[in-house]
Amino acid sequence: NAGVTQTPKFHILKTGQSMTLQCAQDMNHGYLSWYRQDPGMGLRRIHYSVAAGITDKGEVPDGYNVSRSNTEDFPLRLESAAPSQTSVYFCASTSGLAEETQYFGPGTRLLVL
């Protein structure tokens, strides 16, 4: 199993451009989450999904959209990027509730100019 994969590894955007960060898992996990990691602030959850067809907002959802059409994929969409969205983004999966062990992907480093 590849676990949790993310693409791209690094991307540069201009303010106002749109972008989709890809996340895929092959562990048949139901629960997927997106986090952003900023210096000195730890990881903060953006959106999450408990199963295909179900998504919900995390603690910092503004400026981001997600969809979950199947179990494997959980893309994160930035419709109009802003410099404040410069960050490292991690996708994580777990088989059950968020309290169980989460497996993190390798991350996507995004720079918005």
The distance of closest approach from Cβ of residue 59 to another protein in the complex, given in angstroms and rounded to an integer, is 7
Of residues 48 and 74, the one with the C-beta less far from another protein: 48
The distance of closest approach from Cβ of residue 17 to another protein in the complex, given in angstroms and rounded to an integer, is 25
Phi/psi at 25 (5° precision): -135, 145
The distance of closest approach from Cβ of residue 42 to another protein in the complex, given in angstroms and rounded to an integer, is 4
Of residues 1 and 101, the one with the C-beta less far from another protein: 101
What torsion, rounded to 10 degrees, do the Cα atoms 50, 45, 33, 74 define? 110
Which tokens is 42 given? 């730890």
- Determine the residue type at 34: W
In our burial notation (b when 16+ CB lie closer than 10 A, e otherwise), range 82-97 reads eeebbbebbbbbbeee
Q: What is the binding site for another protein (CB under 8 A)?
A: 4, 33, 40-45, 48, 56, 58-59, 90, 92, 97-99, 101-107
Of residues 50 and 52, the one with the C-beta less far from another protein: 50
The distance of closest approach from Cβ of residue 101 to another protein in the complex, given in angstroms and rounded to an integer, is 5
In the chain, how long is the greatest CA-to-CA distance? Answer: 37
